[in-house]
Structure 1
Amino acid sequence: MFSRQVLHSPSTWSEELSKLLFVWLSFAGSAFLFGERGHIAVDFIARKLPVSAQRVLQVIVQLLIVVFAILGMIWGGYLAASIAWNQQLTALPLTLGWVYVVIPIAGVFIALFAIIDLIEVATGKEEPYPLVDESEEPRDLDELEAQSAIDSASSAEGRN
């Protein structure tokens, strides 16, 4: 936008680069989020089960994730990248394969994180569905402002 509006010379490569980086950032971010166990999980019914059944269910879920990561992301991503490896991007000196190569990379990390979670849940080192403590999070703007005022007052007292 800067080059188009200010310099009156639109760049052809910036849009294509931003798309490529967006794809890479999305897949890398999803792998990171998976490693933090921050992904979306619909666990309402699973939490109603006894802990032993929760553990078995979580092991099954992690096994399914490992299978998907290996077959869908690693193998499928490898095939997609290899098919597109010789297709040149129009505005960058790269091939389309560089867009797809992030899929198997993210798949490796997701599979590793799932295996780690599987081992920790199966051995009892980690809860199958850990509770999320939302009590410390402000629910609305008034609570956020009140918490900010309390934090400011306590930090001012600490300096005196």
Structure 2
Amino acid sequence: MPHAHDAPLEIRDDDLTGSATRALIARHLAGMHEDSPPESVHALGIDALTGPGMRVWSAWYGAELAGVAALKRLDDERGELKSMRVDDRFLGRGVGRALLRHAIAAARVAGLSSLWLETGSPDSFEPARRLYASEGFVTCGPFPPYVEDPFSVFMTLDIAQR
């Protein structure tokens, strides 16, 4: 069997029924609770990620799950990135960037003009903030339903101009 690093990265729609994807979402939620107080955790669980207006992708190297990302449609023009998580085994290999670019492209195809996100302010979120900024996201104020929170950083990207 080829090693994961031998296979190309494949990003596919995910219905969240697979055990690997469900386990990564659970690890994502647990990780968010390790770094932020409960009232500042805005990550979504499986039920919310399968709700209306949601689209979820998973990234795979062969049979190994490398990461997940979701897009929540906020309205006719805006979408919110949710649940971006790369499995620790694949950090630093471009999985997050590939998922982010995939979500941006899908949002554009869906006719959205902007993307929004909430991420953490603690140091452990610095790599995520750097990734978003490197892809053109800029810091902004909270957007509904969020409010100012010292544990949150809010960012947006105008994809109509890209």
Confirm or deny a common fold (TM above 0.5). no
Q: Which has the higher helix share?
A: 1
Give the structure, 1 or 2, with the largest relative contact order (CA under 8 Å, sep 6 or more).
Answer: 1
TM-score, normalised to structure 2, is 0.24
Q: Which has the higher strand share?
A: 2
